[in-house]
Structure 1
Amino acid sequence: MDWDDLRIFLAVARTESLSGAGRRLAMDASTVGRRIARLEAAVGAALFLKTPQGYALTAEGARLVAPSEAAELAATAASEAVRAEAGITGQLRIGAPDGCANYLLPQVARDLCDAHPGLEVQIVALPRVVNLTRREADMAIAVSPPDTGRLMVQRLVDYQLHLAGHRDYLARHPPLRDLADLKGHRMISYIPDMIFDRELDYLSATGMEVAQISSNSVAVQMQAVRAGAGLGIVHDFAIPFAPGLQRILTDRIALRRSFWLIRHADDRASRRLSLLADALAQGIRAEVLRLEGLLGPCPVRGT
């Protein structure tokens, strides 16, 4: 049985489509289909059932996943052994919520690529938790530790969030001295039914029930606050990217959250991914501390 056919099989199993596997493998979908047909002929069984939702594994296909993943690990280990003297190279795909992806990972990716010129970093910003079981990424950053799955979980860093508004907006609207004063202001937050993690429910900290402007994207919310459209809970580490933003009511509203690094348990044996995970963790910690340190102490009361 050809390892390359197993590699293609795993890509289809994880993406549940020929086109998705083709994009992941830089291969034409028709070629993927032919290779799957060749593998099915070799094992003497259908591995996938085509459904309206995509390509679902048959019972025979499901039994082939574990040995294929074992072959994948062996191939990865062999490749790393050959490249050991050349340093860390190849592709690293990182999944992250868009706040981290927009305001932290670009700088961290820059430093990783500077340190390892042969490295290619891909940042996947998704408004949901990245699925490592389906290999959507090599590792993921999340705002809550997962409670299921064969995963390695590492706490990275705590970060701060505060209510903020643009100075132009604050100059045009009534002063804010206490939480009750928020009733005279427009709020910006998440779309309630698109909050994919309870840690992202920021609006409840303000005592307000409705946000007049909402988005499933932290970056969009941040741009709305920057445009003077209203007030929103924002990451302290993002404020340096938005001149004119001011933290307000900091003695009334101050949130602390954490980033977690998540890896598939099978990757424990990969020295390459372990080294990259350590470098990624150090980079994110340092960048959060640097950016939050640019803000200085919080104002005690009001604007």
Structure 2
Amino acid sequence: MDPNWDDLRVFLAVARLESLSGAGKQLKMDPATVGRRVQRLEEALDASLFAKSPQGYALTAEGERLLTRVEQAEQAVTLGAEETRGQAGQLSGTVRLGAPDGCANYILPQVCARICEENPGLEVQILSLPRVVNLSRREADMAIVVSPPDAGRLTVQKITDYKLHLAASRKYLKMHGPIESLSELRNHKTVGYIPDMVFDQKLDYSAAMGVEDVQFASNSVAVQVNFLRHGAGIGMAHDFVLPAVRNIQRILPDQLSLQRSFYLVRHADDRRVERLNRFSAALIDGIRAEVLRLEEAVET
């Protein structure tokens, strides 16, 4: 008995999510049904595709080989569909984009909204997680990161640099007086990331600030900004965030200025998918322009 594409689609979901329940949610199937479909595929191929472990369903050697072939078939089907859609000249379908919290909250909504205005048939999903999005498991079609990955079958393209400075609310500075040097920071309460939840060392600003303890911490940039806005203390803030919260101002910009970068990461197999190529090009252009616009608004 030859396997059918529906069973292979179930196999892909289990392979990427490593669980029957996760695959079931994605496919809108009962986990038991997912399990039966996997078993049917294994019987059709006369091969064991998964090994059950405490971490979930792990691919066997046979499963790994099948995954490579099925993903190639998936890409061929997608490419054919995209070439057909491309005749209309507009992007369509759904694109899921992973991004760190600051970018997801303060840059991507307006950038993606403009792209969708020009492509009414396009839907964009923004996935913001306190960790790096796993493209190998197809959690998203592409991801924005601050540290380019050095492993996996991925393509990486630098988008733009961005700046961060110390910041506090005008209310806080009025209550505590002006700050004239970095050494004074030890006398103030600080805002930042939860130390054991910093998933990328480029997001750890404590050393640059010269502080050891963060009194008001969150794994979310949006929450940190609200701490600052309500006068909780002093912290590092992205320059591109400041125009959205007018009562926060930069402190000691000549004494402490950090620069980080955004990179766009995609699965290597997606290089031939024209829809994703066009979307990523529009996304990169949009992010570059938006970061520049927002940072210039802070300078003036």
TM class by shorter-chain length?
over 0.9
| C-alpha contact 1:161 1:254 (8 A) present in aligned 2 | yes
Partner residue, 2:66:
64
SS at match of 1:124: strand
For 1:268, which of 267, 271, 284 is the aligned residue? 271
Partner residue, 1:35:
37
Looking at structure 2, the residues matched to 27 and 89 of structure 1 have their Cα atoms a distance apart, in angstroms, of 26
Looking at structure 2, the residues matched to 106 and 148 of structure 1 have their Cα atoms a distance apart, in angstroms, of 29
Count of aligned pairs between the two proteins: 297
Looking at structure 1, the residues matched to 156 and 55 of structure 2 have their Cα atoms a distance apart, in angstroms, of 31
Partner residue, 2:297:
294
For 2:103, which of 100, 104, 108 is the aligned residue? 100
For 2:215, which of 212, 215, 226 is the aligned residue? 212
Looking at structure 2, the residues matched to 22 and 261 of structure 1 have their Cα atoms a distance apart, in angstroms, of 29
Displacement of 1:217: 1.5
| C-alpha contact 2:83 2:274 (8 A) present in aligned 1 | no
SS at match of 1:147: coil
Tell me which amino acid in the other structure corresponds to 1:158: D
Looking at structure 1, the residues matched to 296 and 130 of structure 2 have their Cα atoms a distance apart, in angstroms, of 27
Looking at structure 1, the residues matched to 246 and 31 of structure 2 have their Cα atoms a distance apart, in angstroms, of 46
| C-alpha contact 1:159 1:236 (8 A) present in aligned 2 | yes
Partner residue, 2:10:
8
Looking at structure 1, the residues matched to 111 and 10 of structure 2 have their Cα atoms a distance apart, in angstroms, of 31
Taking structure 1 as reference, are residues 28 and 105 closer, same or farther at Cα in structure 2, changes over 3 Å only? farther
SS at match of 1:210: coil
Displacement of 1:248: 0.5
Tell me which amino acid in the other structure corresponds to 1:277: S
Q: Percent of aligned positions with the same letter in both sequences? A: 59
Displacement of 1:164: 0.3
Partner residue, 2:26:
24
Looking at structure 2, the residues matched to 133 and 66 of structure 1 have their Cα atoms a distance apart, in angstroms, of 12
Taking structure 1 as reference, are residues 201 and 147 closer, same or farther at Cα in structure 2, changes over 3 Å only? same
Partner residue, 2:153:
150
| C-alpha contact 2:228 2:235 (8 A) present in aligned 1 | yes
Displacement of 1:124: 0.5
Displacement of 1:19: 2.1
* Contiguous gaps of at least 5 residues in structure 2: none
Partner residue, 2:51:
49
Displacement of 1:81: 2.3
Structure 1 length as normaliser, TM-score? 0.94
CA deviation digits over 1:187-220, x for unaligned, max 9?
Answer: 1111122111121111111111111111111111
Looking at structure 1, the residues matched to 158 and 83 of structure 2 have their Cα atoms a distance apart, in angstroms, of 29
Displacement of 1:169: 0.8
Tell me which amino acid in the other structure corresponds to 1:39: L
CA deviation digits over 1:74-133, x for unaligned, max 9?
Answer: 111121122222321111010111110111111112112111111111100011111111
Structure 2 length as normaliser, TM-score? 0.95
Partner residue, 1:172:
175
Looking at structure 2, the residues matched to 283 and 27 of structure 1 have their Cα atoms a distance apart, in angstroms, of 37
Looking at structure 2, the residues matched to 293 and 27 of structure 1 have their Cα atoms a distance apart, in angstroms, of 49
Looking at structure 1, the residues matched to 7 and 243 of structure 2 have their Cα atoms a distance apart, in angstroms, of 48
* Contiguous gaps of at least 5 residues in structure 1: 298-303
Tell me which amino acid in the other structure corresponds to 2:43: A
| C-alpha contact 2:47 2:62 (8 A) present in aligned 1 | yes
| C-alpha contact 1:150 1:265 (8 A) present in aligned 2 | yes
Tell me which amino acid in the other structure corresponds to 2:224: Q
SS at match of 1:177: coil
Partner residue, 1:250:
253
**Structure 1 residues 76-85 or 114-123, which shifts more?**
76-85
CA RMSD, 1 decimal = 1.4
Looking at structure 2, the residues matched to 240 and 32 of structure 1 have their Cα atoms a distance apart, in angstroms, of 48
